[in-house]
Amino acid sequence: MSHHLFFPLFSLIFFLLLFSVTSRQNSYRILKSSSSSSSSSCPLNFKDVKPLLQLSNVNPSNDLDSNCASILGVLRIILSEYLNLTGSFYPPLNLAESCWNSYDSAVDSFIPGFKIRSSCGFRTQWISEGCMNISTKSEFEKLVQPDLNDVVSNCNQSLYDSFCATCLTSIATMRISYLTGANNGNISDCTNMPFIYVSGVINQYGPSDPGTAKCLLSLDLSSDENGNSLKKRLLISLISVVSFVGLCCFIGGFFYYLRLKKEKERKARRKRRMGRVGSGSGSNLQSINGSTHLIKYSLDEIKQATNKFHRDNLIGKGGYGNVYKGVLPNGADIAVKRFKNCSAAGDAGFTHEVEVVASIRHVNLVELRGYCVATTNLEGHQRLIVCDLMPNGSLHDHLFGEFASEKKLSWPIRQKIALGMARGLAYLHYGAQPAVIHRDIKASNILLDENFEAIVADFGLAKFNPEGFTHLSTRVAGTLGYVAPEYALYGQLTERSDVFSFGVVLLELLSGKKAILSGNDEQGQPLLVTDWAWSLVRKGHILDVIEEEMPELGSDQIIEKYVLTAVLCSHPQLYARPTMDQVVKILETDLPVPCIPERPISFTAELEDIERSFSNNGFGHFSIY
C-alpha cells in the first residue's frame, strides 16, 4: 500500500481520483435524483433520462449517427419503463409532439440546440406508432402467448455474454407469431416491439441495467468513453500543471493501481452475479432445449412412417441427402430428410444446429417438427429431420414437375409466391438470430402450402453467419445454375449470394424456364436463364420474359417491376444486387427498381470455370435437374 507513504498533496489527489472513479460507477444512481424538466402533458417519464444520456456518451464531439443511435436507445429504455408502468407501448398520438419536446429539452443539456427529429430523421408520429395494431401489453401477450414461457425462462436474468444469445434466440422464436417484415430503424416497430417488451416487462433488472440495455436495446451504458472521461481528463491536466514529471509517474502508477482494483472488483461482482444466475435457473443447456418444441423420434417410428424409406416414398434428392414422405400413426403427413454420410462424431453439433434452426420461425420458413439420431448395425449412423409435408409440393413441381402439366400458376399466385420467398429470406438475413445465409435456394426448396403461400425450406444446412460479415468458405454448397458466381468461383459467401439465387428462382417463376435452359445458345453452350432474361431486358423486351399463356396477368407496369427486380437480383456483380429487405420493399410498395448496371462479361464464359471447380474438388453437392 504505497499510497500511505505520500505527502498530503498526494493524498488529496488520490481522493480526488478515487472520487472520480466511484462517482462514475454510481453516477447513474447519484444523478438519478437530479430531475430535469418534464412536460406535464407527455406521459413518458423523462426525469431519469439525463444520467442515461450521459452514460451512453451523448455529446457534441460524437458523430451524428452514434448520437442518434444512443438517443434512440435511451428512448427505448423510457418506452420500456412506460410499458412496465402503464401497460402501453407508446404515448397517444396527440401527445407525440410534447414528448419529443420534453426529450429535446433533456438532450439540450448535452448537445445545446439539438432537435432530435430533424437531426436524426424521425417523424413526430413514430413515437406513437407501433407494429400493426398492437398498442398494449395484453394485446402483445395474447399474440405471443405460446412462446412466453421460454422468453421468461431465458430473458429474466442478467443478460451478459452467452445469456444474451440465449435470450435473443427465444425472442426470435417469439416474433414469428405476427412479424411480417423487418423494419429496422423505427422506434417501437415490429422489429423493436419484442425487445421493448422483454426489457420492460420480463427482465428483472429492467431496461436501464447495462447488460439488458446492451443486449436488447443496442445501447452501451458502460463504455469507457463515457461521461466521466472528460472529468478525468480535466483532472489530469490540472495535476500536470502543479506537478513535476517525476510526480506524474507516480500518478500514472495510481491510475494503474486503481484500474487494476476496479477490474478486480468488476470481475468479482460479475462472478457473483453469474453464480446467482447459474444456480437460479438450472442448467443453461436445459433452457435451450426447452425453447423449442422439437420431438425426438426413434428410427423405428420414422421407418414405419416412411415404409422403411421405400422408393415410392422418395420425393426429393439433393447433395446432402434424400427426402421421403411419410405418415405418422396419428395421420399427420410428414417429410423426412435423411442426411448422407454421417458419423457419430458430429451429433452434438447436429442437435444444436437443429435446435437453433427450429427456433427460427416465420410464416414463410419451414417449421421443423422433430429429428432423429440413431446408429444401427445395418445402416450405420443416421441423422434425420422431420417437417410437415406441404400439400402443394414445391415450386419446382409446379413449374417443371408433376403438377406442370396441370393448370399453369396464375399471375396473382406467382406474385404471392415471389413475395413470400422474399419475406422468408429477408427474415433469415435480418430478422433471425443468428443471421442465416441459406446457400441453396432453388425452385425445389420453395414449398407451397395449401394456400400457395411460399415456404422456404432446407435452410437447416446453412452455416450460421458469424456477425453477418463476409467470409470465405472452403466448401461450396449450392446447385448449378442458382449459385452466385463469386461464391462458386472464390467461395465468397454473403447474403448477396442468396439474393442471386433468389433472382434466378424469381426468373424461373416468371418465365417458366429452368435455371439452365435446355436449348443451347448459338455457340452450343448452355444458356442461363439470367443471361437470357438480361438479353431481352437490354433490348427493351421486358414483357417477353413472362411465360406464355399465364392466366390472370396483371398490369404491364407491375409485371415489368418483377422482371427487372429478378434481373437485378441475379446480376453477376455482387454490389449491383439489392438486399432482401430492399427486394421486399420494392415488391411491396411503389418504390422503383434501381437502374441495372451493365454486365462485365458474358456469364456463360464463366460457366466452364464453375464446372471445372466442381470436378476438381470432387464436391458431391451439385445437382442439375
Ligand X SMILES: *[C@@H]1O[C@H](CO)[C@@H](O)[C@H](O)[C@H]1NC(C)=O
> What residue ranges bind ligand X (CB under 6 A)?
126, 129, 132-133, 152, 156, 183, 185-186, 189, 202, 204
Give whichever of 152 and 236 is closer to ligand X, judged by the CB atom.
Answer: 152
Q: Does residue 440 carry a catalytic annotation?
A: yes
The SS3 call for residue 333 is: strand
Minimum distance, C-beta of residue 68 to ligand X, in the bound complex (Å): 12
Contact yes or no for 28/22 (Cβ under 8 A): no
Minimum distance, C-beta of residue 499 to ligand X, in the bound complex (Å): 20
Query: What CA–CA distances, in Å, run from 198 to 137, 222, 470, 514?
Result: 11, 20, 31, 46
Minimum distance, C-beta of residue 132 to ligand X, in the bound complex (Å): 4
Contact yes or no for 76/192 (Cβ under 8 A): yes
Contact yes or no for 532/517 (Cβ under 8 A): yes
Minimum distance, C-beta of residue 417 to ligand X, in the bound complex (Å): 21
Q: What totals of helices (H) and strands (E) does the chain contain, helices first?
A: 23, 12
Contact yes or no for 57/225 (Cβ under 8 A): yes
- Distance in angstroms (rounded) separating the CA atoms of residues 473 and 463: 10
- Distance in angstroms (rounded) separating the CA atoms of residues 489 and 478: 12
The SS3 call for residue 498 is: helix
Give whichever of 84 and 415 is closer to ligand X, judged by the CB atom.
Answer: 84
Q: Which residue is nearest to ligand X (CB)?
A: 185
Give whichever of 127 and 365 is closer to ligand X, judged by the CB atom.
Answer: 127
For the chain, what is the radius of gyration of the CA atoms?
29
Contact yes or no for 518/511 (Cβ under 8 A): no
Residue with cell 484500474: 259
Give whichever of 154 and 497 is closer to ligand X, judged by the CB atom.
Answer: 154
Contact yes or no for 47/35 (Cβ under 8 A): yes
Minimum distance, C-beta of residue 589 to ligand X, in the bound complex (Å): 9
Residue with cell 439489392: 578
Exactly one of 189, 220, 397, 440 is catalytic; which is it?
A: 440
Minimum distance, C-beta of residue 581 to ligand X, in the bound complex (Å): 9
176 φ/ψ sector (left φ>0, alpha ψ -120 to 50, else beta): alpha
Contact yes or no for 143/177 (Cβ under 8 A): yes
Give whichever of 204 and 375 is closer to ligand X, judged by the CB atom.
Answer: 204
Check the CA dihedral 402-418-447-425 and report its sign: positive
At position 350, the amino acid (one-letter code) is F
- Distance in angstroms (rounded) separating the CA atoms of residues 138 and 217: 21
- Distance in angstroms (rounded) separating the CA atoms of residues 77 and 332: 45
Give whichever of 185 and 600 is closer to ligand X, judged by the CB atom.
Answer: 185
Give whichever of 90 and 502 is closer to ligand X, judged by the CB atom.
Answer: 90
Task: Read off φ and ψ for residue 572, nearest 5 degrees.
Answer: -65, -25
Cα torsion 171, 172, 176, 179 to 10°: value is 90
Q: Please give the grid coordinates belonging to residue 472.
A: 470465405
Please, what's the b/e burial string for 380-415 (b: 16 or more CB within 10 A of its CB; e: otherwise)?
A: ebbbbbbbbbbebbbbbbbbbeebeeeebbebebbb
Give whichever of 17 and 127 is closer to ligand X, judged by the CB atom.
Answer: 127
Minimum distance, C-beta of residue 211 to ligand X, in the bound complex (Å): 14
Minimum distance, C-beta of residue 182 to ligand X, in the bound complex (Å): 9
Contact yes or no for 335/324 (Cβ under 8 A): yes
- Distance in angstroms (rounded) separating the CA atoms of residues 227 and 55: 6
Helix (H) / strand (E) containing 588: helix 580-588
- Distance in angstroms (rounded) separating the CA atoms of residues 119 and 624: 53
Beta 314-317 vs 321-327: how paired, if at all? Answer: antiparallel
Give whichever of 191 and 492 is closer to ligand X, judged by the CB atom.
Answer: 191
- Distance in angstroms (rounded) separating the CA atoms of residues 121 and 114: 12
Give whichever of 129 and 560 is closer to ligand X, judged by the CB atom.
Answer: 129
Minimum distance, C-beta of residue 129 to ligand X, in the bound complex (Å): 4
Give whichever of 184 and 470 is closer to ligand X, judged by the CB atom.
Answer: 184
Selection from 370, 393, 388 nearest residue 331 by Cα: 388
Minimum distance, C-beta of residue 145 to ligand X, in the bound complex (Å): 14
Minimum distance, C-beta of residue 204 to ligand X, in the bound complex (Å): 4
Give catalytic residues, as residue numbers.
440
